[in-house]
Amino acid sequence: MRSKIITVTPNMASIWLSSNTKNRPLRRALVSFYSDQMKKGEWKLTHQGIAFSSEGVLIDGQHRLRAICESGVAVQMLVIEGVDEATMIVVDDHAKRSPCDTMIVCGVDLPKSNEKEFVATARAMMVSSNWSWKWTKTDLLNFIKTHRDSINHSLCLFQGHIHVPGVTCATVASVIARAWYNGVKTRGLEFAEVLKTGVVQSNDDTAAIRLRDILSGVNGKIRGSRDVLLTHKRTERALYSFNNRLPLVKIYPAEKELFPLPDEVK
């Protein structure tokens, strides 16, 4: 095998794609994701690049090449030639780093007892009207560095032996972390206590009980991105009403971001 670093232009990528005769179906969302990174100048040169067989067949890199074409940006890539076509069966057949793994590798000092919960809360905080689901690990890294204090504050409220499945979760913690920037601290603590214990001190606290009933029910299991977003919006509505001591009979999802982060306000 021979390898070299090449600045791949859109024209070169288009020509190389013509040799893409043995590959998996193209994933359009992945191409758009890569293309956005290239346009932003966030694409990094790594040891993972473009691979061709000794017969010139493209073995690895079709999504990267297509992204170069769509972005119109030339980027540096490691290009490897002379790869045995039989190796296609094991390409990408290795353990992918999770967001939590990546943060640790990048030197982010995560709480040892709840590393995964910390990263999950940060990711859930990024869910709002101003965020799409396609974020990069660079986005996540910068987000965690910026909002570490609010995430720590929120997770501390759910520490202890009381765990209510579907209720004391990262999505709910993320809303409390957002509200921390909006002056909801004492009531945020009380909100978390009601969610954990199911005990209310007054009729002003019914919003938290309503939310607890919803999230702990059969329909409260958070499975995918839509469930996370719906839980986020319901929790925001409940915490907003709880903080303002407004009793709720039914919790409708918030129609806009009720607890914007400082940079979202700007």
pLDDT at 69 over 80: yes
For residue 246, the number of C-alpha atoms closer than 13 Å in the C-beta half-sphere is 10
Mean pLDDT over residues 200-222, rounded? Answer: 78
Residue-level pLDDT at 131:
54
**Sign of the CA dihedral 108, 110, 116, 119?**
negative
Least confident of 2-6, 90-94, 181-185: 90-94
What is the residue-averaged pLDDT of the chain? 84
Q: What percent of the chain has pLDDT over 90?
A: 29
pTM of the model: 0.68
Residue-level pLDDT at 75:
94
Q: What percent of the chain has pLDDT over 70?
A: 89
pLDDT at 218 over 50: no
Helix, strand, or coil here: 44? coil
Neighbours of 34 (CB within 10 A): 21
Q: Which helix or strand (DSSP H or E) is residue 240 part of?
A: helix 225-243
Instruction: Please list the alpha-helical segments (H only) found in 9-86.
Output: 10-17, 28-40, 62-71
Least confident of 12-16, 96-100, 159-163: 159-163
pLDDT at 30 over 90: no
Least confident of 52-56, 87-91, 202-206, 213-217: 87-91
User: E-strand spans in 47-148?
Assistant: 50-53, 58-60, 75-83
> What CA–CA distance (Å, rounded) separates 40 from 141?
16
> What CA–CA distance (Å, rounded) separates 8 from 65?
8
- Band (70; pLDDT cuts 50, 70, 90): very high
Least confident of 23-27, 170-174, 230-234: 23-27
Q: What is the pLDDT of residues 96-152, one digit of tens each?
A: 667 777 777 777 777 777 788 888 888 888 876 555 556 778 888 889 889 999 998
Mean pLDDT over residues 200-218, rounded? Answer: 83
Query: Cα dist. 226→10, 44, 221, 231, 260 in Å?
Result: 35, 31, 12, 9, 20
> What CA–CA distance (Å, rounded) separates 220 from 257?
21
